[in-house]
């Protein structure tokens, strides 16, 4: 398994309202060699629904 060159880490504790925009920004970038790790550290918001 090859490791991506770039790891993008998106924390989303109590920030679910920004998650859609943040992920769209990740998807719009031009480097093809990346992974996105979304971290929800027990946020009471519904980040899972986004």
Query: Given this model, what pLDDT does residue 35 score?
Result: 94
Helix, strand or coil for residue 49?
A: helix
Query: Given this model, what pLDDT does residue 19 score?
Result: 87
Query: How do residues 18-48 score in pLDDT, each as one tens digit?
Result: 888 999 999 999 998 999 999 887 777 765 5
Sequence ranges of the domains in the chain: 6-45
The whole model's pTM is what? 0.71
Q: Which of 17, 15, 12 is nearest to 36 (CA)?
A: 12
Query: Given this model, what pLDDT does residue 42 score?
Result: 78
Query: Given this model, what pLDDT does residue 22 score?
Result: 92
Residue 8 pLDDT more than 80?
Answer: yes
Question: pLDDT-derived band of residue 17, with 50, 70 and 90 as boundaries?
Answer: confident
């Amino acid at each position: 398994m090859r490791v991506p060159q770039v790891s993008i880490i998106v924390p989303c504790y109590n920030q679910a309202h920004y998650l859609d925009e943040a992920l769209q920004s990740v998807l719009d970038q031009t480097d093809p060699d990346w992974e996105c790790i979304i971290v929800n550290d027990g946020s009471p918001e519904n980040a899972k629904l986004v």
